[in-house]
Amino acid sequence: MTNQRVKIADGKLGIMVVGLGAVTSTFMTGVFMVRKGLAKPIGSMIEYDKIRVGKGSEKQYLSYREIVPITELKDIVFGAWDVYPVDAYRSAMYAEVLKEKDIEPVKDELAAIVPMKAAFDKNFAKRLDGDNVMEGKTRWEMVEQLRDDIRTFKQKNGCARIVVAWAASTEIYVPYNESVHGSLSALESAMKADDKEHIAPSMCYAYAALSEGAPFIMGAPNTTVDIPAMWELAEKTKMPITGKDFKTGQTLVKSGFAPIIGTRCLGLSGWFSTNILGNRDGLVLDEPDNFRTKEVSKLSTLESILVPKQQPDLYTDYCHKVRINYYPPRNDNKEGWDNIDIFGWMGYPMQIKINFLCRDSILAAPPLLDLCLLSDLAARAGRYGIQRFLSFYLKSPMHDYTKGEVPVNHLFQQYVMLKNAIREMGGYEADEEID
């Protein structure tokens, strides 16, 4: 029972990723290996999850692909931009996320992916020092070059559709500025005036993607599409936008565990989260201005799950701290500690400690795949603007803060939103409610 309003996934889908580092090279290698039958796409909801559709005697559990037309992995073509000129094969080898035996079988496919020159400004990522960058271009010239890159890639590879995703480093924190970010005309004027303070390079990618009819996904906590100007552009071009910041390790735990505390009506005194990470992302986040962007994203999770106004006896004045430490020996193997101070009957204190020894890129690759395929699906279904149903995959879900909207951070409520959207696009009733 497929909704005829959703266009079929006909032809090739170009997935163009900003950043060809650990996450992207792991993602691409995995897709190529799965296509050859040499690996399993574990962690991908699209490939493994099943959703109930119908009720009573009509009830059945179907995979996403059985409900809606989703692009097959064999129809994906990859492209990338990066400040470093190395191809995807060398990037995967350098990242040391995957073993050589899991890279070599797709060496030729990976080696063919050579990154285009990045729209880059060192002031936004001081720890990066690559030379594969657009030289001496204004912000508007960057936009025009990126638009040309997208058009050329699409034509050269015979793609029917393009999706652009940011999987590059976290930029320095760019606060919302109404005079620049408040409207599309203001944003365009600032880009043309080469406003290097308020226009981050990531905004150039997003503007270029949306202008070329490509959905845009923000996988870092950058401000980028989280501004009214980009919402206006997405409305104008009828394109989906999704963000921000892939929810992979500690925040995934937090958005899933905090509901246990809330549902059980236990109190919270404090939640201290700390991480060690040794990959390029960790290096960039070692810079205080870049960490500030990540901190804002990671701190936003708890406050909409354990809400002081709703339960003043339980959640008033709890202390929430987040730390990330760059520790090179661990490389991509991130370790997160959560130290949670709770209280129960008659106010007696208790502690919970969670130690998650995770692999950053192994956890990030499946959400990147799902976000790309589901953003493409949303575009073919005629959905545009902020895609709230994809909040499940993101640390700091986009929302209209200008109207006082509170984002949904509760993992299981986000899952209901995801399932309902798939049902709707498949022509079924969106029959689950968020209480």
Q: Where residue 282 falls among pLDDT bands split at 50, 70, 90?
A: confident
CA distance 327 to 283: 8
pLDDT at position 286 is: 73
pLDDT at position 354 is: 97
pLDDT at position 212 is: 98
Average pLDDT, integer, range 42-69:
96
CA distance 394 to 409: 9
Q: Where residue 297 falls among pLDDT bands split at 50, 70, 90?
A: low
Task: Report the range of poorest mean pLDDT among 174-183, 271-280, 290-299.
Answer: 290-299
In this prediction the pTM is 0.94
pLDDT at position 295 is: 72
CA distance 242 to 217: 5
**Over the chain, what is the mean pLDDT?**
94
pLDDT at position 3 is: 41
The architecture CATH gives domain 12-246+362-425:
3-Layer(aba) Sandwich (3.40)
CA distance 402 to 386: 14
Residue 386, pLDDT > 70, answer yes
Report whether 360 contacts 277 (CB < 8 A).
Answer: yes
CA distance 117 to 82: 6
Q: What is the radius of gyration, based on Cα positions, of the chain?
A: 21
For the record, the structure tokens of 328 come out as: 């090179």
> 101-156: per-residue pLDDT in tens?
999 999 999 999 999 999 999 999 888 888 999 999 999 999 999 999 999 999 99
pLDDT at position 375 is: 98
Question: In the chain, pLDDT over 90 holds for what percent of residues?
Answer: 85
Q: Where residue 249 falls among pLDDT bands split at 50, 70, 90?
A: confident
Query: What are the boundaries of each domain within the chain?
Result: 12-246+362-425, 250-359
Task: Select from 322, 251, 258 the least CA-distant residue to 292.
Answer: 322
Q: How far apart, in Å, do the first and last CA atoms of the chain sit?
A: 28
CA distance 340 to 148: 50
Task: Select from 367, 284, 281 the least CA-distant residue to 332.
Answer: 281
List C-alpha distances in Å: 83 to 29, 130, 132, 214, 227. Answer: 20, 5, 5, 22, 26
Average pLDDT, integer, range 240-265:
94
Higher pLDDT, 277 or 108: 108
pLDDT at position 388 is: 97
For the record, the structure tokens of 39 come out as: 């690996």
pLDDT at position 82 is: 97
Residue 273, pLDDT > 60, answer yes
pLDDT at position 1 is: 34
Average pLDDT, integer, range 299-324:
91
The architecture CATH gives domain 250-359:
2-Layer Sandwich (3.30)
Question: In the chain, pLDDT over 70 holds for what percent of residues?
Answer: 98
pLDDT at position 4 is: 45
Average pLDDT, integer, range 362-380:
98
Task: Report the range of poorest mean pLDDT among 195-204, 254-263, 273-282.
Answer: 273-282
Report whether 136 contacts 129 (CB < 8 A).
Answer: no
> 60-86: per-residue pLDDT in tens?
999 999 999 999 999 999 999 999 999
* Residue 352: strand, helix, or coil: strand
